[in-house]
Amino acid sequence: MAGPGYLRGLAGLLGSAVHPVTMSVRVRFAPSPTGPLHMGGVRTALYNYLFARKHGGEFLLRIEDTDQGRFVAGAEEYIKESLEWCGLELDASPWKEGPDGPYRQSERKELYRHYAEELIAKDKAYYAFDTSEELEAMRERSKAAGVAAPAYNSVTREHMRNSLSLSADDVQKKLEQGEPYVIRLKVPRHEEVRFEDAIRGWVVVHTSNIDDKVLFKSDGMPTYHLANIVDDHLMKITHVIRGEEWLPSAPLHVLIYEAFGWERPVFAHLPLILKPDGNGKLSKRDGDRLGFPVFPLDWVDPVSGEKSSGYRERGYYPEAFVNMLALLGWNPGGDVEIMSMAEMVNYFDLGRVHKGGARFDPAKTDWFNQQYLRMRPDAELGAALKERLEEQGIVTSVERATAAVVLLKERATFVDDMLEGTYLFTTGSPLKGNEEALAEARKRWKPATGGALRSFMDRLGSKPLLVSAEVEKAFNEMLHEQGMKIGQVMPMFRLFVAGRMQGPGMFDVSALLGRDEVMTRLEHGLELSKTWD
C-alpha cells in the first residue's frame, strides 16, 4: 500500500475490511478553501454523496478554514458551484444550515480551546512553551545523536519546556504572564495504534512513529487535526471517506479519539488519482502538459491572475464528468460503465473501492461525453447548436439545426464539434476562400469526374426537395452509366458541396441542403475546375 512504510502493518495481509453499515449514516466532505477544487476533491465528495444516498444517510459539507494563511478568496464559492454543477446535493453546509452548524470552522473557533483544555485536564495533552530557537536546538541535538527524523515526542518532550516537564507552579505563572504556548497531544509511549480502514483493511502503527502533534496553536486557533476530530464528533459523522493523502494522519486521529474517549468513525481512504502517463499523483501540470482540465470549472487565480480551464466550460456534460469520476477507483462489477446518478447510488459499495491508484484517462473522459451527447434528445442538441451558430453569425431555425444534428452527432464528442457542419447552414459554394479544400479538389481532379458530376446533376431532376434515397439512386445510376467507381466521384462531390473530406453521408447532406443549393455548389465547382484541366 502507499503511504509511509511504517503504515504497512497488517494491511494487505487481511485484505479489505468489511464494515456492515448498521447505524444511520452521516458523512461529510471537508474541503479547505485554499484554491480551486481539484477533480480528486470532486471524486471524494461524490463517493461521500453516493455512500450517504445509498444508506439513506446525510451528506454534509464543512469548510475547514482554520489555517487563515492559506485562505484563497473565491475558493469557497468555487467549491459550492462545482458541487452544484455535479448534482451533489448537500443536506447541510455553510449555505444550508443544519442542526450541527455552523459549518465553517472559522465560525466555530471559540469551541476548540475548550476541547484542547479538556484533553489537558485528562492528562492527554499538555502546554508547550518552547520557542522556535529551542525547537531548532532540539532537532539539532537529535540529529547529532543520529536520529533520522527528529521530532517532539515522548522521548524529547522530557527535555523541553512544557507542562509535563515543568512544575505546576511554573506552568501557572507562565500562563498568567501570557507566555505564548501551544497545546500538544501527549502521545503514549509504547503502544500500537490499529484501526480497520474500510478500503485498505487493517492499519497498524507504533506510537514511536507518531510525534506529539500541536492541537492548538499560539494564535488561538486549533490545528487541522483537532478541529477535524472535534467537528466530526460533534457533527456525528459515522464514516470519514477522504483521500489517501490523509492516511498517514489517521493513526494520530485514532489517538485523539481515544484521548477524548469518543467513539471513532469508520475510516475509508480513497486511492490516489494517477497521471495518465508515468507514475505519481495527477497534478495541474499534467493537465497543462497534456491539454485536459483538472478542475471542474474555470478558475482564475485571484492573486496571479493565472487561468485554469474547467470541464464545464470545455463543454463536458456534468453527468459524463461525474460518471467518469465515479469509475476512477471504483466499479460496480461486470462491465457496466454508463450509469445515472441513481444507478451509481444503487451499486455503490465502499468494499469495492480499489486500494491501488486509479489512472486518469483523458480519452476515456471524452468517450463518456460522447456517450452522453448521443443520449441527448436531438431537439435539445439542435437548440444548443443553433445558439453556437448564432455566435458565429449564422442564423438558422431550431428545426434545421435539429435536422443537422441527426447527421452530425455521431461524429461529435461536444456540441462544438458539430460546428464542423456549418456548410449545412450557409449558402453558396464552400470552396470560396477555402484554400485547403481547393488544393485537395485540384489534386484529385480528373476530367472524367466532371462528366460524371454533370450526368449526376442531370439525374437530380427538377424537384426542389431531395430525398436521400433518391439522391443515392441517381448517384448509383450515374456511376453505372459512366462505368466509374464511387471513390472516383464521391470525394469531388463532397468537396464541391461540403468543402471537406469528412462528414456525414452526402446523400443525407444533399437532402438537407435541397436541390437548388446542391446544384449551385456543384456548378461552382465545375466552373472552377475549368482552370484545372
List residues binding ligand GLU (CB under 6 A). Answer: 30-32, 64, 228, 240, 242, 246
* Shorter beta-carbon distance to ligand GLU: residue 244 or 508: 244
Return contacts of 80-84, CB within 8 angstroms, 24+ apart.
81/297, 82/37, 82/42, 82/295, 82/296, 82/297, 83/29, 83/42, 83/45
Q: What's the closest the beta carbon of residue 211 comes to ligand GLU, in angstroms? A: 19
SS3 label, residue 241: strand
Is the Cβ of residue 237 or residue 328 nearer to ligand GLU in the bound state?
Answer: 237
Active-site hit among 109, 174, 284, 446: 284
Query: 225 or 515: whose CB is closer to ligand GLU?
Result: 225
C-alpha cell at 258: 481515544
Tell me whether residue 40 or residue 382 sits nearer to ligand GLU (CB atom).
40
Residue among 347, 382, 400 nearest 517 (CA) = 400
CB distance 373 to 415 below 8 Å: yes
Confirm whether 174 is a catalytic residue. Answer: no
Number of Cβ within 10 Å of residue 155's Cβ equals 12
Q: How far is the CB of 33 from ligand GLU (least distance, A)?
A: 9
Question: Is residue 88 classed as helix, strand or coil in its secondary structure?
Answer: coil
Which residue number, 253 or 409, has a Cβ lying nearer to ligand GLU?
A: 253
CB of 198 to ligand GLU, least distance (A): 14
Secondary structure (3-state) at 522: helix
For residue 181, give the amino acid letter.
Y
Q: Could you tell me the smallest distance in angstroms from the CB atom of residue 34 to ligand GLU? A: 7
- What single-letter DSSP state applies at residue 271? P
CB of 216 to ligand GLU, least distance (A): 17
Distances (CA, A) of 344 to 25, 36, 299: 17, 26, 28
Q: Which of 26, 85, 142 is nearest to 316 (CA)?
A: 85
Listed in sequence order, the residues at least 6 apart from 58 whose beta carbon sits closer than 8 Å to its beta carbon are 25, 26, 27, 52, 91, 92
Question: Which is closer to ligand GLU, CB of 105 or CB of 402?
Answer: 105
Distance of closest approach, residue 373 Cβ to ligand GLU, in angstroms: 33
Distant-in-sequence, close-in-space partners of 518: CB < 8 Å, separation ≥ 6: 460, 466, 497, 510
Q: Which residues are catalytic?
A: 284
